[in-house]
Amino acid sequence: MGYMIGVDGGATGTVAILTETDGTVLQTAKAKASNYIAVGKDDAKAALHAVIHEVVEKAGKSLQDCTVAVFGLAGLNSDHDAEVYRSLIEPIGLGGELYIENDIVIAWAAATNCDPGVVAIAGTGSSAFGVNAEGQRVKTLGWDYILADQGSGYWIGLEGVRTAIKSWDGRIPPTPLLEAMVRHYKLEKAEEMLTYAHSPAFDKTNIASFAKEVSRCANEENDIAAQTILSRAGDELGQAVVAVIQRLGIAEDTFTVGMVGGAFRSGEYLTKPFEEKILATAPNANIQFARYPSVIGAVIYAHYKHGTLNNQLLQTLENSAGDLLRWKS
């Protein structure tokens, strides 16, 4: 009997879900990171193969009986990236249709049920992506942390650390971010950050982890400096969505803008400027958190591409997903 597989793979981990063709969830599996740019081709291949073999074996299925498999993968930004991922995935031996997309595509599916609309991701990295009624696609941000991931957890965390250092050396008034930085990075005193910041430990994920402290200082300690960082993040993310809307020509339409990622949980200091920026351009936009995690979006996208997406399928998928609905990418 045929089945569908959805995979959400990134720089911090990989998740797979296997469902019956009617949307009933049978099994899930997790593996290590599969972003080949972050971990290398060999480790990415190992993770992708491991997560597929595990979920298929747990479900008691055959690889060849797969009807549609959708892989939403971080680090897929060019035709070359797509070719690399295909070379890693095809040897698994899955039967049926195979679709390999950037992970923001499955986030869009999770947010819009594959209807015309836009999704914004603000996790460790940030990106915005949309599709209009004609099928035109537009993506902004998501060009790595050096070039463009404003509003992301990494960006917020780094701005938080930089602001703490500004406070330490007297360029701005005192801020709770300074004490939070010392505590978060287990330093004895603030000046130790001058050395720690150049150590291998101070990597992208570690920097992004400080975003939670920025949010806490903004919301619990009413810190203006932290609130300003979140407001700037919201404005940057809103600007990215507006660019997508304008390039798709949907400013006058009614559509969903889905929010995905932990940075959006920072509260109204971020979400208010984000929403205001979008509504000033697209007053009929419906801005909300994505209903499903991205791995479920991969299955929705599989049915969309297969021509079997309908309301009954979505209801069955939701009814059987259980705890999986709490896995917010």
Query: Are 136 and 270 contained in the same domain?
Result: yes
CATH of the domain at 300: 3.30.420.40
pLDDT, tens only, 99-138: 999 999 999 999 999 999 999 999 888 999 999 999 999 9
- Statement: the pTM of the whole predicted model exceeds 0.85: yes
**Considering only CA atoms, which of 102, 104, 98, 69 is closest in space to residue 86?**
98
> What angle is formed at CA 47 by the lines to CA 41 and CA 53, rounded to 5 degrees?
130
Query: Are 138 and 277 contained in the same domain?
Result: yes
> What angle is formed at CA 28 by the lines to CA 15 and CA 261, rounded to 5 degrees?
40
Query: Are 120 and 230 contained in the same domain?
Result: yes
* Mean pLDDT, range 184-211, rounded to an integer: 95
Query: Are 34 and 129 contained in the same domain?
Result: no
pLDDT, tens only, 296-305: 999 999 999 9
* Mean pLDDT, range 90-96, rounded to an integer: 96
Query: Are 55 and 131 contained in the same domain?
Result: no
DSSP, collapsed to helix, strand or coil, labels residue 213 as: helix
CA–CA dist 303, 284 (Å, integer): 28
Structural domain containing residue 59 = 3-113+291-326
